[in-house]
Structure 1
């Protein structure tokens, strides 16, 4: 076989492998998205397990945050800054104000309700607006719906003009303890100072026990 023929042969084989891989990957994604989403409440009235993707394109589980307080809010990057942006900023600043030691024990988490538009890269860029404290997450539409329901966050989509749409963001910030227990909520309109005060109260109570 001549050099040109060998090169053409290997090119065709490579293209065939790539095509098969793409098809398998797509089919796998569709099957995963249609499959039941196994989530566990751990006995919590609000909150529980999740398997999502963080802003670094890595899979993340709720158990990855054991030992830290979680402040979880559901919004999206196309949401007005006066709504979702204000909550993300307050969470980041509220945790930072806990001080060097305690801020390491709390993580503000922003989970998108708009996974079709909010890519991991979009979320990374969005998070940088609020410093280094905010952790951002996305996932398949089916997983996002399941997790949002688990954390009592709305998932109502309002159709607009020319294919545009809006989504109702969460009205509350859910607080989970370092052991994964539900510890109550704060309104999404809470200020950074109110968040710092609430987390200080919870951490002080934990330290006494």
Structure 2
């Protein structure tokens, strides 16, 4: 699947997930200011239980992060451009937020989940995430475990064509911000740079 088709599919999936939110906004009955301050992903069917493993090969579940805000991004370490760029901006924004509000940043856990478990072993994921931040947790698992996690977060991915350097993966590029109960709050604007990510974190993390 080419990148254009992948992007179209991703947006169609998000449109289905966010449709109920658009309807509720239309029925807000004059509470436009209050509505604007509510989490944009409030009530969306995003997030859910999973069982994966960390860089040490230890089992990690969604509930392992209960009580913390969570940033969740699905990608893969052999990604030649998108994932490194997104992680760089995401962690740059997190670092800026941490510097400005260390107490609030301590409540946030950034998480990277691979969609390429065939190559992304715990050690590989651990080394890759450490290059961006020691606070970025990298997770992998069996193909079935990864598929279940991706489905819970409406993350699209597909194995692409083989190249001289190996195969590539088509995948959605979304960084979700989840609340301490594991419910969706917003999509972090990694495409707009670290400052935009920091501003969004500052807006929603209490």
User: Scaled by the length of structure 1, what TM-score is found?
Assistant: 0.71
Please give the secondary structure, in 1, of the residue aligned with 2:97: coil
Aligned to 1:144: 146
**Greater relative contact order, per chain length (Cα 8 Å cut-off, separation 6+):** 2
Q: Tell which structure's C-alpha radius of gyration is larger.
A: 1
> Which of residues 104, 109, 112 in structure 1 aligns to 2:111?
109
- Superimposed CA distance per residue, residues 37-81 of structure 1 (whole angstroms, 9 cap, x where no aligned partner): xxxxxx85111111110112111111111121111111101001x
- Superimposed CA distance per residue, residues 151-198 of structure 1 (whole angstroms, 9 cap, x where no aligned partner): 111121112146931112322111110111111213452422111111
Aligned to 2:62: 62
Mapped contact 2:75–2:173 kept (Cα < 8 A): no
Aligned to 2:95: 96
Aligned to 2:184: 182
Please give the secondary structure, in 1, of the residue aligned with 2:199: helix
Mapped contact 1:88–1:134 kept (Cα < 8 A): no
**1:1-209 mapped onto 2 (5 Å cutoff):** 45-80=45-80, 82-99=81-98, 100-161=102-163, 164-203=166-205, 207=206
Please give the secondary structure, in 2, of the residue aligned with 1:166: strand
Q: 2:107 and 2:59 mapped to 1: Cα distance?
A: 21
Where structure 1 has 5 or more consecutive residues not aligned to the other structure, the ranges are: 1-42
Please give the secondary structure, in 2, of the residue aligned with 1:97: helix
Give structure 1 regions of 4+ aligned residues with deviation exceeding 3 angstroms: none
Q: 2:200 and 2:115 mapped to 1: Cα distance?
A: 26
- Superimposed CA distance per residue, residues 81-136 of structure 1 (whole angstroms, 9 cap, x where no aligned partner): x3101111222222222232222111111100100101111111111211212110
RMSD: 1.8
User: Scaled by the length of structure 2, what TM-score is found?
Assistant: 0.72
Q: 1:190 and 1:107 mapped to 2: Cα distance?
A: 21
Where structure 2 has 5 or more consecutive residues not aligned to the other structure, the ranges are: 1-42
